Amino acid sequence: MAILTRRNFIQAAGAAAALPMLGSRAFAQDKLKVGFVFLGPIGDYGWTWAHNKGREAMQTALGDKIESVYVENVAEDASAIPVIRDLANQGCKLIFTTSYGYMDQTIQVAGEFPDVKFEHCTGFKLADNVSVYNSRFHEGRAVLGTISGMMSKSGTLGYLGSYKVPEVVLGVNSFPLAAQKKNPAATLKVVFIDSWFDPPKEAAATETLLNLGADIVTTHTDSPAPLQSLEQRGLHGFGQGADMSSFAPNAHLTAIEDIWGPHYTRRAQAVLDGTWKSSNIWEGMVDGTVVISPYSAAVPADVVAEADKIKAGYMDGSFDIFTGPIYDTEGKLKVEDGKTLTLDELAVMDWFVKGVETAA
Amino acid sequence: MSIEVLILTIITIVGISTPILLAGLGELVVEKAGVLNLGVEGMMLIGAIAGFATTVITGSPWLGMIGAAAAGALAALLFGFLVLALNSNQVATGLALTIFGTGLSSLIGLSFQGRIVAPFGSIFPPALSRDPFLKVLFGYSPIVYFALIMVVLVTWFLKSTRGGLILRAVGENDLSAHSIGYSVVGVRYAAIAFGGAMAGIGGAYFSLVITPMWAERMTAGRGWIALALVVFASWRAPRLLVGAYFFGLLMWLELYAKGGGLNGLPIIPAIPSQFWAAMPYLMTVVVLALISVRDRAGSNAPACLGKPFLTSN
């Protein structure tokens, strides 16, 4: 019943979002209209919040040349199809679908609208009018892992995951690999909660990780709830998607911020210029897409120095966390000494590295 | 599992269970009066934002909880007006209340995004609430104890008071209750308002206790679990208490199993996590089946549940 209602609601919300746009079509002919499909509410202070900041940055940068519309709370199932189609029907010539679970829906609707450009976030399926774009969050995760490896007293780290999809698996692997460079015995407990956004479940899962022995937790879900649990327990963790220090001033050590504005601006400009091409864009720290928030006072100076080394390594290209030797959970050598996993290999990663403990 | 970890685990489970206990208890009273209000999720969200907003403005989580109860009751009375005065379909109106509550809470919440308040934690001295062992008794928010007291009060009210008898009469046979002079509509308004107040407090438990912040749709479907819980408890308050903690245990077990906590056991790690997530609903179906097998005369469900009260009939 919950799912049915939510779907109905989303369709209603999609339709409601569509209504006000009809009136603006007449004078919108010369402007580029850019559509966004958002997974959560723009007020989640995480993933969707960051994408909406990117949209606002694009709007500011390009001003009168474009207008943008968005639909929030779009489920990652078949109900996304009419939402994407509506945006195209309303005259959007560039549509960003901002979550992994919209992959097939984006490809399907893109087939119906060959003159509309689509960009799907974190997926891997391309078409003539479909690009994919992603951010190398795992670079940031290596910085957090370094901090955790040095600051964890128990050597047991916690990871609150959403779904077992490559973009999450990459972070789950990057984090302990970096920690193990500082503390070879470090292990990682992982809980996947099968949701991107469920604050009470995120909080309960964080407490469960702590009860399983973790004393520092990083998250790949979208709300600040885990940080608030850590704050109440007097332990540490990291923000995800945005600087969340205001929600947990003591627990928050730093955060991985997603900065999408430059990408959205560049791609909208490319459509305006007629230079847009289907591409696979995967940017990281060096492009300013992945940013590490300021460290809190709780991070000691020697830890800051080591964390900054990782950052510097990514900035000048001298460091990559996925450089062998890397072993999987069974102890099998997966990446040979000196070899580095390519971005194509990372995009389909579905195994966990040594030290990861999870039932999934 | 050491005793310290066991205590922390109990605290986690109580935290998960309390909001569905509060909302379920309210809905139980509503359904006992013969009204099915499917708007629990919406009322919880309205309570969550009202409680948070009141706390931000006044600085007092106590006032926040009162605000949450008032807002939940107000939303419920809107539902009550539609189904009691206008005799609209209860199922459709309840669903509408959920959609309305989701939207209204998001709208009001716009001005409260990114704000935080101090968590509404234990009011006992730290010697009790922080003690590694004693905190299993004293380490909770006052709302946890409030929920337990309300279970006792509701049980007593329904079972042993004249008011409770009238409420049950209204839910079992509204026409008879009406013919001997009781105000069916009045009793139902009161029950609906009580249900809304409890759902509101349950919602505020999310925004003031578990995660002291406002996030859109932060109750994430717990209102539906509360509805399942009422059926699971077969409309008995003490069983609702057991059921709420049992559902909490199941929800915790899902997370614990996923984190590898059960990896030493032979079969359990192979169970997909979705199975655990479906357990509360599955258990409700099982209990429904058990009830109908055991009690051939029919379930314990109030006979007039969901039916409009039409005196002209």
Question: Stretch B296-300: mean pLDDT, rounded?
Answer: 59
Name the DSSP letter for residue A294. Answer: P
Residue A281 located in a structural domain: no
Confidence grade of residue B270 (pLDDT, cut at 50, 70, 90): low
Are A240 and A314 members of one domain?
yes
* Residue A103 lies inside a defined structural domain of this protein: yes
Report the sign of the C-alpha dihedral through residues B284, B289, B292, B293, in that order: negative
B70 — pLDDT class (breaks 50, 70, 90): very high
What's the confidence (pLDDT) of residue A39?
Answer: 92
With respect to residue A275, please indicate whether it lies within any of the assigned structural domains: no
pLDDT in tens, A206-262: 999 999 999 999 999 888 999 999 999 999 999 998 889 989 999 999 999 989 999
Distance between CA atoms of residues A192 and A161, nearest Å: 4
Listed range (A299-303, B58-62, B170-174, B253-257) with the worst mean pLDDT: B253-257
pLDDT of residue A20: 41
- Residue A77 belongs to domain spanning: 2-135
Cβ separation of A208 and B260 shorter than 8 Å? no
Q: How many CB pairs under 8 A join A and B?
A: 143
Q: Indicate whether A113 and A163 sit together in one domain.
A: no
- Do the Cβ atoms of A190 and B259 come within 8 Å? yes
Q: For chain A, list residues whose CB is within 8 angstroms of any CB belonging to chain B.
A: 1-2, 5, 8-9, 12, 40-41, 43-45, 73, 189-195, 197-201, 203-205, 207-212, 223-225, 228-229, 232, 246-247, 357-360
What SS3 state is found at A311? helix
Cβ contact, residue pair B9, A223, below 8 Å: no
Query: For position A166, which CATH number holds?
Result: 3.40.50.2300
pLDDT tens by residue, B118-171: 889 888 998 888 888 898 999 999 999 999 999 999 999 999 999 999 999 999
Domain assignment present for A153: yes
Determine the pLDDT at residue B286: 83
Q: What is the pLDDT of residues B80-123, one digit of tens each?
A: 999 999 999 999 999 999 999 999 999 999 889 888 888 898 88
Residue A14 has pLDDT above 60, yes or no: no
State the CB neighbour count (10 A cutoff) for residue A215. Answer: 20
Residues A122, A179, single domain; the answer is: no
Q: Between the CA of residue B313 and those of A38, A87, B179, B308, B309, what are the distances in Å? A: 50, 50, 13, 11, 9
Of A89, A107, A135, which one is at a domain's C-terminal end?
Answer: A135
Q: Are A274 and A32 in contact (CB under 8 A)?
A: no
Residue A285 in domain:
no
CB contact under 8 A, B219 and A225: no
Instruction: Tell me if A9 and B255 make a contact (CB, 8 A cut-off).
Output: no
pLDDT reported for residue A189? 94
> A282 in a domain, yes or no?
no
* CB contact at 8 A, A7 and A79: yes
Q: Is residue B299 within 8 angstroms of chain A, CB to CB?
A: no
Mapped onto helix, strand or coil, the DSSP state of residue B271 is: coil
- Do A317 and A178 reside in the same domain of the chain? yes
Same domain? For A127 and A189 the reply is no
Q: How many CB atoms lie within 10 A of CB A50?
A: 24
Could you tell me which of A62, A60, A105 has the C-alpha nearest to residue A87? A105
Q: Determine contact, residues B140/B16, Cβ cutoff 8 Å.
A: no
Distance separating alpha carbons of residues B253 and B262, to the nearest angstrom: 9
Same domain, A161 and A58: no
Distance from C-alpha of A273 to C-alpha of B309, rounded to nearest angstrom = 66
Q: Are residues A17 and A84 in the same domain?
A: yes
Higher-confidence residue of A359 and B166: namely B166
Distance CA A102, CA A120 (A): 7
> If pLDDT is split at 50, 70 and 90, which confidence band does B254 have?
confident
Residues in chain B within 8 Å Cβ distance of A194: 273-274, 277
A96 and A162 within one domain: no
Reply yes or no on whether the pLDDT at A9 is more than 60. no
A143, part of any domain: yes
The interface predicted TM-score of the complex, written ipTM, equals 0.86
Chain A contact set for B120 (CB, 8 A): none
H/E stretch holding B74: helix B61-80
Q: Are residues A10 and A98 in the same domain?
A: yes
Q: Is the sign of the CA dihedral B119, B123, B126, B129 positive or negative?
A: negative
Q: Indicate the residue type of B262.
A: L
For chain A, say whether B311 makes contact (Cβ under 8 Å): no
Helix, strand, or coil (residue B199): helix
Give the domain-ending residue among A135, A161, A190: A135
Instruction: Find all residues with CB under 8 Å of A111, minimum gap 6, and list them.
Output: A127
The answer on A304 and A204 residing in a single domain is yes
Q: How confident is the model at residue A17 (pLDDT cuts 50, 70, 90)?
A: very low
Please state the domain count of chain A: 2
What is the spatial distance between Cα B245 and Cα B144, in angstroms, rounded to a whole number? Answer: 12
Among the three residues A83, A111, A135, which one is the final residue of a domain in this structure? A135
- The verdict on residue A266 lying in a domain is no
Q: Per the CB < 8 Å rule, is A211 touching B220?
A: no
First to last CA, chain B: 62
Residue B109: its chain A contacts at CB < 8 A?
Answer: 43
Residue A339 and residue A251 share a domain = yes
Shared-domain flag, residues A325 and A178: yes
Quick one: closest CA in B to A13, which residue? B103
Answer yes or no: is pLDDT of B1 > 80. no
